[in-house]
Amino acid sequence: MSSVLPPSLLGRLDGRRETPWLWVLAGFAAMFGPVYLAAARGLWQTDDHAHGALVLGVIAWLFWRIHRPLIELPAKPAPLAGWLLFAFGLLVFVVGRVVGISILEFGSQPFVVAGVLLLIKGPAAVRLAWFPLFYFIFMIPLPGFLVDAITGPLKQWISAIVVELLYDVGYPISRTGVMITIGQYQMLVADACSGLHSMYSLTALGTLFMYIMARASRLHNALMLASILPIAFVANIVRVIVLVLITYHFGDEAGQGFLHGAAGMVLMLVALAGFFALDALLARLLDGRAARRASPQ
């Protein structure tokens, strides 16, 4: 007797394995679709939270990358843990919807998804999907009190560093608090230019970079993780310098117009360049050290 199943039967079996996931996807869309739609019309239109839509796209891509291994996992459900996580996520979601708190609406997502994974496939599915589940964090809006507490000092530090650097190379620049004066122009360093939100979005970029590179060395990963915020800080400094120089050389309209948006791209490019450079340096140093240890004495 042949043990090979005909292609038509294999197709039907694959379809049956995928059916529960289609229902899950439909339920997730019905639950969180209105939240995303409201955010697209409001929250994600602001400079501080514009990265939310990009994070959603990244999460969809991350789950797509693992969807086949996820479907093929043997089903070993964990009902107790699954229902507890799902019920907790559902409670957080309902409270967020009723009182209109977006932090709770978005914060419920990883619990709901992790609960469903436990109910359908078990702990192995959660382990497989750990990074997409973690990445939901970057869709959660930061609490206002935390933003206010951290953004003020950040703006002060970045303003001081920018003024010091440009003054040292000969520009007629000074500052009063976070108000920078260069030539005949005055610029207020806004929250979007040097605040916590930009650090938050760059942290999302840095963790995604680490996940994609998938370095095996724990030391390498630890150093990369520790470097994310310093690199984000330096990238913010470069962005403010670019805006100040654009305003000084091309006028206030250029500084506040299209080139202001282009400076945001500079922020991302500087951060990416920093991540790539540090990753390559660490790979070279740590691989070299490992090779020396492995070589016979």
Q: Which residues are marked as active site?
A: 193, 239
Pairwise CA distance, residues 149 & 178, whole Å: 15
246: which residues sit within 8 A by CB, 6+ positions away? 254, 255, 259, 260, 263
Residue reference for tokens 């630890």: 222
Report CA-CA distances (Å) from 239 to 118, 120, 124, 265: 43, 46, 43, 9
Pairwise CA distance, residues 49 & 197, whole Å: 7
For the sheet with 173-176, list strands across it.
173-176, 179-182, 185-188
Other Cβ atoms less than 10 A from the Cβ of 158: the count is 22
Length of the chain: 297
Q: How many CA atoms lie within 13 A of 114 on its CB side?
A: 22
Tokens, residue 32? 């969180």
